[in-house]
Amino acid sequence: MHLLLLFPLLFRLSGSSGVIMGPEEARGPERGSLTVQCRYVPRWEKHVKYWCRGSDFSICRILVRTAGSEQEVKKDRVSIRDNQTSRVFTVTMEKLRREDADTYWCVIERVGSDHGAPVKVTVGPRKRVCVCGCVASGPALSWSLEVPFRDCAHSEGTVPEGG
């Protein structure tokens, strides 16, 4: 009997209801943005969807939520839009900071316990590259090469004519 009472609690905390699916992980660059698509099964189109933060689903902090419509809602650096025809809601986080890295949840609100799917968000350093190139006089000739920033020469130089 006690096991039957415990089962709904475990189901709620796991967030794995099969009603909503999101990517297990999402990664974005520092000062950049990332977009997460959360898919859901039929019959949940008109329900409120939200994006919350925290490893414990039962007490995660709601960052942004829909109003049960398809209208985009933006709060601070996070926006959410529900495409009810495709049964996908999209969350965008902008101006990412390293401290944004955490567990987030794609959630559908319902009476009783909400349906949620966890997404591990990581924020990495912004990829820096340098472009090396040369333009010769005469017939148009140019090239460029992207290399990791750490491999760039930090000196200026000139290319000899005909070279």
Q: With respect to residue 109, please indicate whether it lies within any of the assigned structural domains.
A: yes
15-71, pLDDT tens digit by residue? 456 999 999 999 999 999 999 999 999 999 999 999 999 999 999 999 999 999 999
Can you read off the two tokens belonging to residue 129? Answer: 């590259």
Can you read off the two tokens belonging to residue 158? Answer: 């000139």
Could you tell me the sign of the dihedral formed by the alpha carbons of 41, 21, 59, 27, in that order? Answer: negative
Mean pLDDT of 117-137: 74
Q: With respect to residue 82, please indicate whether it lies within any of the assigned structural domains.
A: yes
Domain interval for residue 20: 2-124
Q: With respect to residue 161, please indicate whether it lies within any of the assigned structural domains.
A: no
Q: With respect to residue 117, please indicate whether it lies within any of the assigned structural domains.
A: yes
The overall average pLDDT reported for the chain is 80
DSSP label of 3 = H
Q: With respect to residue 99, please indicate whether it lies within any of the assigned structural domains.
A: yes
Inform me whether the pLDDT recorded for 137 exceeds 90: no
CATH number at residue 107: 2.60.40.10
Distance CA 123, CA 121 (A): 7
Strand stretches in the chain, DSSP E:
20-21, 25-29, 34-40, 49-53, 61-65, 73-75, 78-83, 88-93, 102-108, 115-124, 129-135, 142-148
96-113, pLDDT tens digit by residue? 999 999 999 999 999 999
Q: With respect to residue 134, please indicate whether it lies within any of the assigned structural domains.
A: no
In DSSP notation, 90-122 reads: EEEE-S--GGG-EEEEEEE--SSSPEEEEEEEE
Chain Cα centroid distance, residue 114: 21
Q: With respect to residue 140, please indicate whether it lies within any of the assigned structural domains.
A: no
Q: With respect to residue 139, please indicate whether it lies within any of the assigned structural domains.
A: no
Q: How many domains does the chain fold into?
A: 1
pTM for the complete prediction?
A: 0.70
